[in-house]
Chains A and B, each alone.
Chain A
Amino acid sequence: MDIVNEILEREQKKAEKYKPITVEKHLDLEFDVGSLLAFDTNDLDTKSLHSQKDVYLHTLSRDNAQLLLNKVWELPTERIDEAIVVRLPPPTTVLPRAKPVPKPKPLTKWQEFAKAKGITKKKKDKSQWDEQLQKWVPLYGFRKAAAEKEKNWLIEVPQNVDPMTDMYEKKASEKTEKVAKNELQRLKNIARARKVKIPRVGIPITSDKASATQLATAATVAKASTASLGKFQDKLPKEKEARGKGIHEIIPGKERKRKAPLPTPQAERENNLNLLDSILNKRPKIDMDRAVSKYIHDEQVQRSEEKKNLKPSKGRFKGKGKGNVTNFSAKKPKAGRGQRNPSKKNPGRKRR
């Protein structure tokens, strides 16, 4: 019995030493077990906070830590290598990043183009079946060169090429050119990504055919490359100067002019008035059309006046009959319904 009591006593002592795992709180805490976080929204006890700050804060944090651990213990536990382990749920609290979000890698010119056009990369096999060699040949890399050498043991010289050309050499130079072009484009992409301005190298010299715009640019530049900047060069009919982005800069003597500074309102007004004066003075002093129309108008007015004056003496003219030729407004014949003049001799049939 002594032993039992002793054990019980010891246990009691032990229990006294440890605080209870249950904690009383007015308001429940909010937990984010995933990031081992607990929010205590209860009010602080200001009296004890002032009187015994350290003790109060210590107990408060212990209680809250206890509550958090209680929550952790509620989760399903595993035993791995004599250790009890808990798998935490994903955290719900969004934490701000310490570092800024990494910027997306700038796209190369081709990637940009492909994106705009909706071109997606197709996966190719690393090796291809070669009909001629009757075996699998890698598309690039190890054993590709050897296979190529085996395949091209003889290269035919095409009909349209000088028969003495070394086709192997030609092929090699084409390859080096391609590599060089690729390297240049790679560097250009880097410069573009870093927004470095690279000088224009002029018109690209291609081994193959140049495009129409390239030729036009070359012609324009060549034409302007005289001592007088191409001022006295002959022009073809319908010839147009090359246009486009950056072409203006490479044509000699076509440097962009600096913009004139904005004039003050007074100066602008003066300029406008001067310009207007020059326009108004330029107009012909004698407007032929106007003069003619005025003349016609005067004539018409004069004639109408004359007519008015002649009206009273109308009767006298009528007696004469045939004599007045200018009288266009003669009365229409009345077709027998008018008054007859018996004194007149047989008028005969009406002729119209």
Chain B
Amino acid sequence: MKILSEQRTKILFEKLTKYIGVNVKLLIDRPDGTYCFREKKDRVYYISERLLRLAQTVKPDHLISAGTCFGKFTKTNKFRLHITALTYIAPYAPFKIWVKPSAEQQFLYGHHVIKSGLGRITENTPKYQGVVVNTMSDIPIGFGVAARTTAECRHADPLATIAFHQADIGEYIRSEDTLT
């Protein structure tokens, strides 16, 4: 468990602010204890200080993961969020997309959200804003990037992409072996 370098911390926070904006502060500044980000094999884990201290007793070679995996750094040093981060992103996300029950399965299979499947969208969503995708019953099922603004969505044709797929909870089954 390494501490993240300043450069990497910056990349991580920039990515997180795309999804939850200023609420990233709430992840660091928690009343129920200090939480921090740690890195292992290019994967970033969100872990409480208390748990981290326990995890440090394990030999580094034997430790596979501790805490919640937020994502990983690619070889080109970009950060990619994993679906495991959804529990922390979903409650804080200011921009959301709700998909119709008929389009839920499509999204969970890794497809983009298209206009015909769009149920609701947060007002004034800018273009390329990170959004959390919810079902109509307000259950978060993944996240993506808005391909169009809310205004543009109104006039888009039914097959136009509204949000680019980034991660969905179907990955828990589809890529079970790579999620840690």
Contact = CB atoms under 8 A, between A and B. Distances in A.
Query: Chain B CB within 10 Å — which of A269, A283, A287 has the most?
Result: A269
A273 B25 contact: yes
A293 to B, nearest CB: 4
Contacts of B21: 280
Interface stretch (B57-65, B102-110, B146-154): B146-154
Contact of A275 (B6, B29, B49): B6
A263 B36 CA distance: 12
Interface residues of B, number: 25
A300 B151 contact: yes
A269 B124 contact: no
Contacts of B126: 287, 289-290, 293
A268 B124 contact: no
Nearest to B37: A272
B36 A269 contact: yes
Interface string A296-310: 110010000000000
B105 to A, nearest CB: 31
B68 to A, nearest CB: 16
A3 interface: no
Interface in A117-162: none
B3 interface: yes
Contact of B150 (A262, A269, A283, A297): A297
Contacts, number: 59
Interface string B80-102: 00000000000000000000000
Contact of A293 (B13, B34, B37, B152): B152
A265 B37 CA distance: 11
Interface in A230-264: 262-263
A276 B28 contact: yes
B28 A293 contact: no
B22 interface: yes
B14 interface: yes
A290 B10 CA distance: 24
A10 to B, nearest CB: 83
Nearest to B16: A276
What is the predominant secondary structure among interface residues of chain B facing chain A?
helix
B122 to A, nearest CB: 13
A275 B124 CA distance: 28
A25 interface: no
B127 interface: yes
Nearest to B129: A290
Contacts of A263: 3
A265 B151 contact: no
Nearest to B24: A276
A265 B149 contact: no
A262 B2 CA distance: 10
Contacts of A289: 126-127, 149
A265 B34 CA distance: 7
Given A263-B3, A266-B34, A294 B124 contact: yes
A259 to B, nearest CB: 10
B127 A268 contact: no
A55 interface: no
B9 interface: yes
Interface in A174-230: none
A287 B149 CA distance: 13
Contacts of B116: none
Interface in B34-49: 34, 36-37, 49
A268 B25 contact: no
B180 interface: no
Interface in A35-51: none
Interface string A265-288: 110110011011001100100010
B17 interface: yes
B124 A262 contact: no
B151 A296 contact: yes
Contacts of A293: 124, 126-127, 149-152
Given A269-B28, A297-B124, A276 B13 contact: yes
B100 to A, nearest CB: 23
B40 to A, nearest CB: 15
Contacts of B124: 290, 293-294, 297
A283 B13 CA distance: 13
Given A279-B14, A297-B150, A272 B127 contact: no
The list of the 6 closest CB pairs from A to B, nearest first, reads: A297-B151, A293-B149, A265-B34, A290-B126, A265-B49, A272-B28
Interface of B: 3, 6, 9-10, 13-14, 17, 21-22, 24-25, 28-29, 34, 36-37, 49, 124, 126-127, 149-152, 154
Given A269-B28, A279-B13, 4 more contacts: A276-B13, A279-B14, A280-B22, A300-B154
6 contacts: A269-B28, A272-B9, A276-B17, A289-B127, A293-B149, A296-B151
